[in-house]
Structure 1
Amino acid sequence: MAGQFIFQGLSTFCQLSNQTISNRLIQFYSSQYVSVSVTPLQVLQSQTQAFISQFISSMTNDFSLSLLTIRETTQ
């Protein structure tokens, strides 16, 4: 019986992970980079890395908040 609850929890955890990633990827893919002039390669790389870091941070925060909400409502 306990095994069933463990697998239900694992399934919910996986669904939450997939949904969080999907939501953030939609936002990430809808972002555009526009510049009025040619951007130097180093600047472009730096801005791209910052954008990716922000994406990862936002996704991590969303996931942590979801887990915290689940934890608080189930205890």
Structure 2
Amino acid sequence: MAELILYGSDGCHLCEDAETLLVQAGAHFVKQEILNDDAVYQRYSLRIPVLRDPADGTELNWPFDAEQVAAFLAER
């Protein structure tokens, strides 16, 4: 499974909640700060946190729960 990307921002409590869910699910992911890239910011600023599979571009938008994370991971 390719490493997933969690788009978010420091200080975003929803992003922290999403990260907790991903860790509990055993997901392999990297966090990407949206403020470091204008294009990424424009795409995700109103939607964070967003989990993205760079292999196929599939995204899981917040709000999501443990069951949705498990289903997303199972599809990978």
> TM-score if structure 2 supplies the norm length?
0.26
Structure with the larger strand share: 2
Q: Of the two, which has the highest radius of gyration?
A: 1
